[in-house]
Chains A and B, each alone.
Chain A
């Protein structure tokens, strides 16, 4: 393979990887606060894109995106308030099942509201065919935007959880719920906040990848699976890990396509996930203290 093509496959991998990473990071906020994986995270990504497209008919692009993020945050908070807020014993099993159910309902509701058509936001800069040359390879400017949003998200979430009071309170919730309650932390409100924040992150991710991937009522599931593959690979709760894992997975997928029939691209990535789960479930970059039987 010539150098130009090698770099092109690499760039393609970065395109996939940043999309996965930006979705995967959304899981971490809810996980850091409640210890559960929100199977409905993919739907927040879908909602972000859909709402942004609808708002864009009336508002300029930046306002439409901001509006989409706010609306999705409200939806996230609402979901938590309706389905989860008043549960006294949210066991992991119950929560997994409930969030699966919620993701189905959101998807069907989206079908009802927007139909099955594919929707697209305009490229933030350039258009559908513009490309920047990078060492002989061509990359869409939108990918740069995704990378930028990724970086900003990593910075904000790490800073939030490490250095702000609110962030540390949320981590305390996940670490020891009863203990945190004893310390006087408003557990239930923190959980609602975490859902709102995760939803907002998901929506932002959805808006920035929308020009590349389009948005459709059913796209949430596929993205969610890739998203939490990446979140687990990188170590749950670790945003930087999610980015690194996302890039790794994307590049591996891209080079898999160069060598094997493209039909098995997804099989390979799931096989990698299973392999990591069997050998080191805390993920490539997570601490060993994560759940093990």
Chain B
């Protein structure tokens, strides 16, 4: 693990600690809720950034993976098996600790799957779907790929909305907190706000470390080669299909993980999390942050999600993201932070003597 990367992540953690202390001091700790939610959404976007920036593959289906993870966990942890307590496999699972008996929000005793095995199932499902679908899908290019991933997202959405067990249009509510460690749980109660903030920050830092390491390794170089010139990379012996699928699955896993954690934090999930508009918003954030720039994407995601979740854009929320998409793609396709301000400002100054630099 390179020390430079560790240093970057350490700075990031320090910044987050500072924000928290600032918020508490200013008696604004309630703002940390939206920062926590933004942190989880950032996991989704980081996966997309890797896929688009490094492997050069567009995906309009990230929201679908988020929903796969979130819904799986939500269903498993709210499906009351108390009535089947005596049935063989239920009793066995309960004995092994896979099932847990708890009181739900309305005081009834229910027997549901424990959040940890639910998380495992959610990740397994998300990664399997990504793998199975990724192999044929990633052979496509350009708008065919976009259409295929769009189709994937649409299928997840229509299944979520059309299935009674998944709550149909109402989604699933009453999802219990996720017990990370004894005493520390990912949940929405007001008292646990600061703990949840640090949990989210910690997970985000760990994921950043993982991804930064990946990007600066052989794998990262292979991915960049694929993005730059796929045929040349293939001729050089890089197994392009293998790397693209792996990146796709990693992105899906991150989105699924975010789905699980955020669902437990919110205590509910609805089909809106699987909608195409959500996938488009993730795309807009990656575009702003710069495809492939992990820190840029993180910054863009934290800011944009924070503002959106606080209703800063009001009724124009969708329009703002649409405008961002267009503006960034037209004027700054490398991302907003890649705009070299000094160069841009130099052009505004009246030319004196020396000819203008070739653009």
Interface centre among A108, A228, A264 (most CB of B within 10 A): A108
A194 contacts the other chain (Cβ, under 8 Å)?
no
B303 contacts the other chain (Cβ, under 8 Å)?
no
Stretch from A49-57, A92-100, A149-157 forming part of the interface with B: A92-100
Question: A281–B143 contact, CB under 8 A?
Answer: no
Q: Is the interface of A mostly helix, strand, loop or mixed?
A: helix
Cα–Cα distance between A292 and B145 once the two chains are bound (Å): 10
B287 contacts the other chain (Cβ, under 8 Å)?
yes
A258 contacts the other chain (Cβ, under 8 Å)?
no
Cα–Cα distance between A292 and B287 once the two chains are bound (Å): 25
In the complex, what's the smallest C-beta–C-beta distance from A10 to chain B, in angstroms? Answer: 24
A3 contacts the other chain (Cβ, under 8 Å)?
no
In the complex, what's the smallest C-beta–C-beta distance from B292 to chain A, in angstroms? Answer: 13
Cα–Cα distance between A37 and B148 once the two chains are bound (Å): 13
B9 contacts the other chain (Cβ, under 8 Å)?
no
Cα–Cα distance between A5 and B323 once the two chains are bound (Å): 48
Question: B280–A274 contact, CB under 8 A?
Answer: no
Cα–Cα distance between A277 and B137 once the two chains are bound (Å): 8
Stretch from B79-87, B152-160, B196-204, B337-345 forming part of the interface with A: B152-160
Question: Mask for A95-112, Cβ within 8 A of B = 1, else 0?
Answer: 011101111110110000
Question: Mask for A61-103, Cβ within 8 A of B = 1, else 0?
Answer: 0000000000000000000000100010000111011101111
Q: Is the interface of B mostly helix, strand, loop or mixed?
A: helix
Question: A105–B326 contact, CB under 8 A?
Answer: yes
Question: B322–A225 contact, CB under 8 A?
Answer: no
- Contact (A293, B140) CB under 8 Å given A100-B280, A104-B321: yes
Q: Which residues of B contact A293 (CB under 8 A)?
A: 138-141, 230
Q: Which residues of B contact A93 (CB under 8 A)?
A: 58, 142
Question: A271–B58 contact, CB under 8 A?
Answer: no
Q: Which residues of B contact A36 (CB under 8 A)?
A: 143
B144 contacts the other chain (Cβ, under 8 Å)?
yes
A263 contacts the other chain (Cβ, under 8 Å)?
yes
In the complex, what's the smallest C-beta–C-beta distance from B266 to chain A, in angstroms? Answer: 25
Cα–Cα distance between A104 and B324 once the two chains are bound (Å): 11
A19 contacts the other chain (Cβ, under 8 Å)?
no
B319 contacts the other chain (Cβ, under 8 Å)?
yes
Cα–Cα distance between A96 and B329 once the two chains are bound (Å): 10
In the complex, what's the smallest C-beta–C-beta distance from A16 to chain B, in angstroms? Answer: 16
**Additional A-B contacts beyond A100-B322, A274-B133, A274-B137 (13; CB < 8 A):** A36-B143, A37-B143, A37-B147, A92-B141, A92-B142, A101-B326, A108-B322, A270-B154, A273-B148, A274-B148, A281-B140, A293-B139, A293-B140
